[in-house]
């Protein structure tokens, strides 16, 4: 089994982080999360009821998983910071998945507001995991600010397109010393495996599981894909070659 993933002061056996929204119902969500083997579950603070009046996602998950609240739905640094502070008060955690979206059509991050919010939250003692573009410069700046990890997108949120620019992801992995977790765009288990084979430290996904025909089976597949990709990275792949090379030794072959 691969070594665990350490972020800040916590080590996780699973390198798969999973979202909690968009499932057909809460039971399917619980079954899928369990099947995935994930230990970290994201929850959207702006989209859940934290005032009581019925069992909410936080109550369902907090005893079994490490909750990672996110600032989904925020479009300014100010809104993201306020949402993170609300999450800290409601859940009692300093961990935050920071999202500051630029527009509703692409859901790409707004880098200017993202950097501003990350800087303020780090100074306020948060463990910040920012969702960002697959841009090595932005990731370096986030690392320099003091973020605990960077979470570059593989493709647009919910697109299922896989890694559209694996070369940028490789550069990011090479240039930052903090964990790199691919967030957004993963569509199936092979996408997850490829990301881990490139040296990424983990995957965060939601839609690919929640909207699958069988979320529980897809969650199982994603968990195994992440494990396979990490093991392959640690094992070290053979070099790519243009021509064939016999796998059996040639010495000692009887010649006609």
Instruction: Round to whole Å and give the CA distance between 93 and 125.
Output: 11
Classify strands 10-12 and 66-70 as parallel, antiparallel or unpaired. Answer: unpaired
- The whole-angstrom distance between residue 96's C-alpha and the CA centroid of its chain comes to 13
Strands 5-7 and 10-12: antiparallel
Q: Which residue has the tokens 């056996």?
A: 13
The Cα 186–Cα 162 span in angstroms is 5
User: Could you give the C-alpha distances from 120 to 98, 123, 135, in angstroms and in order?
Assistant: 11, 5, 21
Residues 10, 97, 211, 241: which is the catalytic one?
97
Is position 10 annotated as part of the catalytic site? no
Our CA angle for 190, 192, 193, nearest 5°, is 65
- Per the CB < 8 A criterion, the answer to whether 189 and 220 are in contact is no
Tokens 């986030």 belong to 142
Please list, residue by residue across 128-154, b when 16 or more beta carbons sit within 10 angstroms of its beta carbon and e when fewer do: bbbbbbbbbebbebbbebebbbbbbbb
Neighbours of 86 (CB within 10 A): 15
Report the distance separating Cα 49 and Cα 253, nearest Å: 73
Q: Which residues are catalytic?
A: 97
């Amino acid at each position: 089994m691969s070594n665990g993933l350490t972020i800040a002061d916590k080590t996780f056996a699973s390198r798969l982080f999973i979202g909690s929204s968009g499932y057909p119902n809460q039971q399917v969500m619980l079954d899928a999360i369990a099947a995935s083997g994930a230990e970290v579950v994201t929850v959207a603070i702006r989209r859940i009821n934290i005032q009581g009046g019925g069992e909410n996602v936080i109550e369902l998950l907090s005893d079994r998983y490490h909750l990672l609240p996110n600032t989904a739905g925020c479009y300014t640094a100010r809104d993201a910071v306020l949402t993170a502070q609300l999450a800290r008060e409601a859940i009692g955690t300093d961990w935050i998945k920071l999202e500051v979206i630029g527009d509703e059509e692409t859901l790409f991050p707004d880098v200017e507001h993202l950097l501003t919010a990350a800087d303020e939250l780090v100074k306020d003692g948060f463990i910040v995991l920012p969702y960002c573009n697959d841009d090595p410069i932005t990731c370096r700046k986030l690392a320099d600010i003091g973020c605990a990890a960077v979470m570059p997108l593989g493709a647009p949120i919910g697109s299922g397109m896989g890694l559209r620019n694996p070369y940028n992801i490789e550069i990011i992995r090479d240039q930052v010393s903090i964990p790199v977790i691919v967030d957004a765009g993963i569509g199936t288990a092979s996408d997850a495996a490829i990301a881990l084979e490139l040296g990424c430290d983990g995957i965060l996904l939601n839609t690919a599981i929640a909207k699958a025909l069988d979320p529980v089976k897809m969650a199982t597949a994603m968990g195994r894909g992440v494990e396979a990709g990490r093991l392959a990275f640690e094992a070290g792949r053979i070099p790519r070659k243009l021509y064939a090379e016999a796998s059996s030794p040639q010495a000692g072959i009887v010649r006609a």
